[in-house]
Amino acid sequence: VSALAPIVFLVDDDAAVLRAVTRLLQTNGYEVRAFDSSQAFMDAHDPERPGCLLLDVAMPGVGGLELQQRIAAAGMERAIVFITGQGDIPTSVRAMKAGAVDFLTKPFDRAQLIAAVESAIEQDRSMRRKRAERRSIEERVATLTWRERQVFEHVLGGQLNKQIAAALGTAEKTVKTYRGRVMRKMQAASLADLVRMGERIGVTPARGRSADR
């Protein structure tokens, strides 16, 4: 989790709107970085910085929806709240499907704006948290040996030690030992905890043979 305070990025081609929204957010205690075009934002954007993006839909050059696509294509994650002067349904549906947090129609008041920004920042925060967690799990998985990884996958498949031993062609006692090492390396408190980690990073569970049944 980054230590930096959340920031609100604001992109709107209308200078007056840009100034007013910046002021409104600043007086409500937000740190704001305002840009008058998508290009200016892209040039200055720091994806590591937590916070959200307030984005105007209709702008000359690169429009809001296009910027949203570009951010996704660049592999960046940023909670986006769209603001628009002519909210039409097709546009808002497209924006929401592409993962927008909210769609504000101008003119919006302080309460609407703060609520949208808050929920966007919250979403950004949780996104960042999840990503950090995933990264730490992945780091731990990387420490497993090849054999331990096999046992881990079978455990995720819900198999008993005896079944794993049969599948891997080894003794049940040996499987038990590997299992203990996996639990330790993964810092799992319980089997359930281990399974949750595996699901979080998307490890494919191994499917056991049903010879015994």
Partner 1 sequence: VARQDGVQITAWDAGGVDAKSSARSRPDTGIESNSAQSTVGRIRLLITAAILCVAYYLGVQVGFALTLWPHPISTLWPPNSLLLAALLLIPQRYWWILFLAALPAHLAAQLGSGIPLTMVLGWFVSNCSEALIGAFCVRRFVSGPLRFDSFRHVSIFLLFGVLLAALLSSFIDAAMVTLVGWADQTYWRLWQPRFFSNFLASLTVVPVVLTWVAGSKEWVRRAQRWQHVELGLLLAALLAVCLLVFNRQEMGPGTAPALLYLPLPFLLWAAVRHGPLGTSTSLAVVVFLAIWGTAHGQGPFVISSPEDNARSLQLFLIAIGVPMLLLAAVIEERRQTEEALQASEQRSDNIFRSSPDPIAIIRRLDGALIDVNDRWEAMFGFSRAEAVGRTMQDLQLYADEGTHDIVTRLASDSGRLRDLSTDVRDRHGGMHTTLLTAEVADVGNESCVIAMFRDVTEQRRAEREAFEQRQELAHLSRVATIGELSGALAHELNQPLTAILGNAQAAQASLAGDRFDVVELREILQDIVQQDVRAGEVIRRLRQLLKRGEAQFQSLDVVQLVREVLELAHSDLVARNIKVDVRLSPGLPAVRGDRIELQQVLLNLIVNACESMSAADEPATRTLTIRGQAAAGNGVQLSIIDQGPTISPEHMARMFEPFFTTKRHGLGLGLSICKRIVTAHGGRIWATANRGRGAAVHVVLSADPEAQS
**Of 84 and 163, CB closest to partner 1:** 84
Name, in order, each residue with C-beta under 8 angstroms of 164's C-beta and a sequence gap of 6 or more.
Answer: 151, 154, 155, 175, 208
Shortest gap between Cβ of 66 and partner 1 (angstroms)?
A: 9
Shortest gap between Cβ of 194 and partner 1 (angstroms)?
A: 49
**Of 104 and 188, CB closest to partner 1:** 104
**Of 21 and 188, CB closest to partner 1:** 21
Write down the residue that tokens 């960046």 correspond to.
76
- Residue 212 carries which DSSP code? T
Shortest gap between Cβ of 113 and partner 1 (angstroms)?
A: 8
**Of 95 and 165, CB closest to partner 1:** 95
CB 9 within 8 A of CB 54: yes
CB 79 within 8 A of CB 124: yes
Interface contacts to partner 1, rule CB under 8 A: 13-14, 16-17, 19-21, 23-24, 26-28, 58-60, 63, 83-86, 88, 105-110, 113
Of the candidates 115, 62, 106, the one whose C-alpha atom is nearest the C-alpha of residue 82 is 106
Shortest gap between Cβ of 21 and partner 1 (angstroms)?
A: 5
